[in-house]
Amino acid sequence: MTLKNDFLWGGATAANQCEGAYNADGRGLANVDLCPVGEDRLDIITGEKEVHNFDEKNFYPAQESIDMYNHYEDDIALFAEMGFKAYRFSIAWTRIFPKGDEDIPNEKGLKFYEKLIDECLKYGIEPVITLTHFDFPMHLVHKYGGWRNRKVVDFYKNFVRVVFERFNGKVKYYLTFNEINMVLAAPFMGAGLVFSEGENKEEAMYKAVHNEFLASAYATKIAHEIDPSIKIGCMLNSGVIYPASARPEDIFEAQRVARDNYFFTDVQVRGYYPSYKIKELERKGILPEITEEDKRILRENPVDFVSISYYTTKTVTSDRDVSLSKDNLQVTIDNPYLDKTEWGWQVDPLGFRTTLNEVYDRYQKPIFVVENGLGAKDNPDENGYVEDDYRIDFLREHIKNMKDAIEIDGVDVIGYTTWGPIDLVSASTGEMSKRYGFIYVDRDDYGKGSLKRSKKKSFAWYKKVIATNGEDLS
């Protein structure tokens, strides 16, 4: 296999990390709006600290972000200049349904995304839409308790039906939930969960996960009823799990941790709960209620493709006395064979190839790489130009390994969109200084700056990569 002529090169963003305009044109308040930069952020996104509204002592980067809401035409023109074949972006649920449980959508919100989609199509860019990229209406948090409540499934069905019908004929690819496995690491950001004192947190999270599974399956069903040519994908925060040694206990621990991730795609791709997870949840006494109708909906509506984000790999040990570190909200131990980024993420290009093979071997469905990138501190000159050879080196090595997975190993990969083609707010830290883009945005961690866009060195490099369909990576 080789890269197909219609391979979908491009970039990916999320509404809450780039749009801003958090209360414009009838948009409602979302959970992601209330995640500040600074020391409170981790406690909030993990559901440990309850939030209801903004606190004047904090800065909330999602309020303005990079204001793509008012700059999307210029930004998409820059993407087109790079030669993008696809642009993955997300829809903010509260732009369409400000509270989440209304019957009638907000026309101004729909009109914004319609204009954004049309702008992409004008340049021949395929829109790839994430239906939920952590955005969740705060009204549904307060009134229904987030995704732990089955009623939310019906609100989601209403939301996605409106989207599918409005954009039918314009959008072919949709993802139901961004990095669905991150619910367990960031339950407020991933599922609108805030925990009460004494509550069984794990039980609440798995209730939420089950309801998201149902919502994803219903979304697939609704999409295919409206237009059978629509392709629906799940989305996994991926990365192969290494054992710390050849000790059988470490090998088994790596398998156990890998299953914790693959459980999410096992259900969405295969259409049923795997036996290993049923046994685990039964032992803990927290298996969600799974009705016969639930089983039918999951079984009859698997996703069409698997999309993944890939940033790093993880190393685990069965030795509970070994010190652990948090890497992208996931617990790992240091791998002595890998370098780290400025934010402590282990850099593993070959692990990307291994991960692609592992996912494809498991499911035998097309894979869409919808996030891969390097967060780094950039130092622009007076014109906003950045000599970001470190970013080029990172992406070059990862693309090489993706190509090897396709051309040598036979993995079916349909596209590759880098994370953050334009600088945006970091989901994990809320910082702007953790930059991913080919386009520099003049803005700091606390909202200061002109928002002026300027091309980095990597802009011209990625343009060449796309133009040669990945042949010229020099």
197 or 445, higher pLDDT? 445
Q: Can you read off the two tokens belonging to residue 377?
A: 């501190």
Looking at the domain assignment, is residue 288 inside a domain?
Answer: yes
As for how many domains the chain has, the answer is 1
Give pLDDT, residue 50: 87
- H or E element, residue 310: strand 305-310
Place of tokens 């649920």: 93
Among candidate residues 468, 218, 242, 217, the one with its CA nearest the CA of residue 338: 242
Look at residue 329 in the predicted model and tell me its pLDDT. Answer: 58
pLDDT band at 70 (very low <50, low <70, confident <90, very high): very high
Residue 332's pLDDT is 82
* Options 119, 126, 358, 371, the catalytic residue: 371
The answer, yes or no, to whether residue 251 has pLDDT greater than 90, is yes
**Which pLDDT does position 274 carry in this prediction?**
98
Residue located via tokens 């059978």 = 228
Task: State the average pLDDT over residues 378-386.
Answer: 96
Residues shown for the chain? 474
Domain membership flag for residue 423: yes
Residue 53 CB burial class (10 angstroms; 0-12, 13-18, ≥19):
exposed
- In terms of pLDDT, which residue wins out, 51 or 125? 125
CB 199 within 8 A of CB 143: no
Q: State the average pLDDT for the chain.
A: 96
Q: 76: domain range? A: 8-468
pLDDT digits (tens, 9 = 90+) for 289-307: 999 999 999 999 999 999 9
Predicted confidence at residue 81, as pLDDT, reads 98
Distant-in-sequence, close-in-space partners of 335: CB < 8 Å, separation ≥ 6 = 242, 313, 315, 346, 348
Mean pLDDT computed over 269-276: 98
Q: Which of 224, 132, 223 is nearest to 180 (CA)?
A: 132
Comparing 13-17, 56-60, 162-166, 348-352, the range with the smallest average pLDDT is 56-60
Which amino acid is located at 221 in the chain? K
| Position with higher pLDDT, 402 vs 48 | 402
For Cα atoms 220, 428, 35, give the angle at the middle one, nearest 5 degrees.
90
Is 199 a domain residue?
yes
Residue range 262-272: mean pLDDT, rounded: 98
pLDDT for the residue 39: 86
Q: What is the pLDDT of residue 322?
A: 74
Q: Is the pLDDT of residue 326 over 60?
A: no
**Would the pLDDT of 262 be above 80?**
yes
CA angle 177–183–184, rounded 5-degree value: 150
Tokens of 53: 């509204």
The predicted structure's pLDDT at residue 330: 59
- CA–CA gap between residue 227 and residue 183 (Å, rounded): 30
Q: Is residue 2 part of a domain?
A: no
CA distance 434 to 445: 9
10 Å CB burial of residue 395 (0-12, 13-18, 19+) is: buried
Model confidence over 348-365: pLDDT tens digits?
Answer: 999 999 999 999 999 999
Tell me if residue 225 is catalytic.
no
Whether 473 is covered by a domain: the verdict is no
User: Quick check: is 1 in a domain?
Assistant: no
What residue has token string 């642009």?
87
> For residue 453, what pLDDT is reported?
98
What's the pLDDT at 325?
Answer: 59
Domain contains 3: no
Quick check: 162 pLDDT over 60?
Answer: yes
pLDDT-based confidence at 432, cuts 50/70/90?
very high
- pLDDT grade for 414, boundaries at 50, 70 and 90: very high
pLDDT higher at 1 or 379: 379
CATH assignment at residue 111: 3.20.20.80
